[in-house]
Amino acid sequence: MPTPVGTPRERCLRPPHAAWPRHTTKGWETMSIGTIPRFPLATLPTPLHEAHRLREALGGPERCPRILIKRDDLTGLALGGNKARKLEFLIADALRKGATAVITTGAVQSNHARMTAAAARLAGLRCSLVLTTSVEDPPIQGNLLLDHLLQADVHLVPAPPDKSLAVDAAVDETIARVAADLESRGERPYVIPVGGSSGVGALGYVAGTLELVGQLANAGEAPTRLYYASGSRGTQAGLVLGAKIYSAPYQVYGIAVSGGGADKDARALENVAEAAAMLGVPPQVTESDLITDEGYIGEGYGIPTPECLEAIRLLAQTEAIFLDPSYTGKAMAGLIDHVRRGVIGPDETVVFLHTGGVPAIFAHGTRLLE
Ligand SMILES: *Cc1c(COP(=O)(O)O)cnc(C)c1O
């Protein structure tokens, strides 16, 4: 992270990052992603690592493509993860709008909630978290432990029975109550949607794509696919829009970790349209660009499948990289299955975007060894 200069509010209003060029795409004069206010939170660029040992374990060059792992688990903000990229834009937006507090929501082991609480600390904002739980007294472990260490104001509500990530009425009511309470005390709350998935949040992975496309070009790589774990779809919105704007060589291939495909497609397209408008480019993304494979969800969000557990162990034992049981384990299970079934060939190169989530390992304990 660059050395911070000035107050948080001054910092997010600073001039655009000098290293980021203005982009002109297919004749459209675009507003560079570098001109949009951004509050520095992440340590960038994250490494791009070739997983040689994993390739060997999956059959070697005869059977397995080359796999490049983009280490967004190493974004640096409070144990890392993809939300740091979104939060750079979301927190800047909150500060510009004069917010004094942020409110967000997610499951009790939400990585997004933990990273929002951390970002709020760095920006001098209060943070309230509305977290859904399927048990009455969830163990104070993993992300929830970190939320408390960060002294976020935690509100627990019962999880909707289908374990989807969908925000339900009880969550909306609690957010409204928390917001009203903050306002009555003279605070100005800014509500960040679940997963940080909004047009502003999607800018994080437009910028992330610019970074990755640059790394690939420097390394002379042209991967055919990018695999990643898809939840609330803000990452997808940024990745697909970024892939169009910066002419990425790869197809963006999401492995779903929860259901609700049709509604989420609509939301992703909304996020794309908003982000594109902020950048001054046409949305140029259609439903056919939103590839989300729902074949690896298993019983539901947050419930690891046997293949997910296998993927977690395999990555630990080959690359000493930890995956998480809710997101990246399932995404890697999808990639491994595609290798084994020959959906992707040994002559290809693919990118696996490691979106983080590692603290949730500690809320599962030895069940991960089963
Ligand atoms: C939030 C999250 C995702 C999914 O990102 P969305 O933008 O919600 O789709 C993937 N992996 C991890 C570890 C996450 O925390």
CATH number, domain containing residue 57: 3.40.50.1100
- Write down which residue in 166, 196, 226 finishes a domain: 196
Residue 351 pairs in a beta bridge with 68, 226
Q: Which residue's C-alpha comes closest to atom 1 of ligand 1?
A: 195
Q: Residue 2: inside a domain, yes or no?
A: no
208 C-beta closer than 6 A to ligand 1: no
| Spacing, Cα 110 to ligand 1 middle (Å) | 9
324 C-beta closer than 6 A to ligand 1: yes
Full residue range of the structural domain in which residue 35 is found: 8-81+198-369
Helix (H) or strand (E) holding 328: helix 328-340
237 C-beta closer than 6 A to ligand 1: no
Tokens of 359: 């603290």
Q: Based on the fold, state whether residues 245 and 354 are members of the same structural domain.
A: yes
| Spacing, Cα 61 to ligand 1 middle (Å) | 30
Alpha-carbon dihedral 318, 320, 321, 322, rounded to 10 degrees: 100
Q: What angle do CA 30, 33, 37 make, to 5 degrees?
A: 125
CA 334 to each of CA 66, 331, 355, 359: distance values in angstroms, whole numbers, following the listed order: 16, 5, 15, 22
82 C-beta closer than 6 A to ligand 1: yes
- Write down which residue in 162, 196, 230 finishes a domain: 196
| Spacing, Cα 347 to ligand 1 middle (Å) | 29
Question: Which amino acid would we find at residue 19?
Answer: A
Q: Based on the fold, state whether residues 344 and 221 are members of the same structural domain.
A: yes
The atom of ligand 1 lying closest to the CA of 73 is 13
Q: Based on the fold, state whether residues 145 and 252 are members of the same structural domain.
A: no
Are the C-beta atoms of residues 159 and 196 closer than 8 Å to each other?
A: no
The predicted pLDDT at position 19 comes to 37
| Spacing, Cα 184 to ligand 1 middle (Å) | 33
The predicted pLDDT at position 26 comes to 45
- Write down which residue in 138, 167, 196 finishes a domain: 196
What is the C-alpha to C-alpha distance for residues 199 and 269, in angstroms, rounded to an integer?
10
Q: Based on the fold, state whether residues 30 and 167 are members of the same structural domain.
A: no
Q: Residue 362: inside a domain, yes or no?
A: yes
What is the C-alpha to C-alpha distance for residues 258 and 272, in angstroms, rounded to an integer?
20
What is the domain count for the chain? 2
Q: Based on the fold, state whether residues 216 and 329 are members of the same structural domain.
A: yes
356 C-beta closer than 6 A to ligand 1: yes
Quick one: which of 1, 16, 36 has its CA closest to 277?
36
CA 224 to each of CA 20, 136, 215: distance values in angstroms, whole numbers, following the listed order: 26, 45, 15
| Spacing, Cα 29 to ligand 1 middle (Å) | 31
Q: Based on the fold, state whether residues 329 and 204 are members of the same structural domain.
A: yes
**Residues noted as catalytic:** 110
Q: Residue 92: inside a domain, yes or no?
A: no
- Classify 257 in phi/psi space as left (phi over 0), alpha (psi -120 to 50) or beta: alpha
The atom of ligand 1 lying closest to the CA of 327 is 11
Q: Based on the fold, state whether residues 315 and 203 are members of the same structural domain.
A: yes
The atom of ligand 1 lying closest to the CA of 254 is 9
- Listing DSSP states for 254-265 in one string gives EEESS--HHHHH
Q: Based on the fold, state whether residues 256 and 119 are members of the same structural domain.
A: no
Residue by residue, pLDDT tens for the chain (370 residues) are: 444 555 555 544 443 333 333 444 444 445 689 899 999 999 999 999 999 999 999 999 999 999 999 999 999 999 999 999 999 999 999 999 999 999 999 999 999 999 999 999 999 999 999 999 999 999 999 999 999 999 999 999 998 776 555 557 899 999 999 999 999 999 999 999 999 999 999 999 999 999 999 999 999 999 999 999 999 999 999 999 999 999 999 999 999 999 988 899 999 999 999 999 999 999 999 999 999 999 999 999 999 999 999 999 999 999 999 999 999 999 999 999 999 999 999 999 999 999 999 999 999 988 888 8
Q: Based on the fold, state whether residues 189 and 209 are members of the same structural domain.
A: no
Are the C-beta atoms of residues 190 and 102 closer than 8 Å to each other?
A: yes
359 C-beta closer than 6 A to ligand 1: no
Q: Residue 272: inside a domain, yes or no?
A: yes
Q: Look at the block and give the residue holding tokens 């047009």.
A: 199
| Spacing, Cα 165 to ligand 1 middle (Å) | 11
Question: Which amino acid would we find at residue 115?
Answer: M
| pTM score over 0.85 | yes
232 C-beta closer than 6 A to ligand 1: yes
Neighbouring residues of 325: CB distance < 8 A, sequence distance ≥ 6: 302, 304, 308, 309, 312, 360, 361, 364, 368
The atom of ligand 1 lying closest to the CA of 232 is 8
What is the C-alpha to C-alpha distance for residues 8 and 30, in angstroms, rounded to an integer?
28
Q: Based on the fold, state whether residues 172 and 213 are members of the same structural domain.
A: no
Q: Based on the fold, state whether residues 68 and 214 are members of the same structural domain.
A: yes
- Each as own residue / partner, the long-range contacts of residues 288-291 (CB below 8 Å, 24 or more positions apart, any chain) are 289/240, 289/244, 289/252, 290/233, 290/236, 290/240, 290/254, 290/265, 291/251, 291/252, 291/253, 291/254
Are the C-beta atoms of residues 316 and 33 closer than 8 Å to each other?
A: no
Burial string for 183-215 (b: 16+ CB within 10 Å, else e) reads eeeeeebbbbbbbbbbbbbbbbbbbbbbbbbeb
Ligand 1 pocket test, candidate residues 104, 192, 197, 327, most atoms within 8 A of CB: 327
CA 356 to each of CA 46, 78, 80, 334: distance values in angstroms, whole numbers, following the listed order: 12, 11, 6, 17
The predicted pLDDT at position 253 comes to 98
Q: What would you report as the CA-atom Rg of the chain, rounded to the nearest whole angstrom? A: 20
Side-chain-side CA neighbours of 242 within 13 Å: the count stands at 25
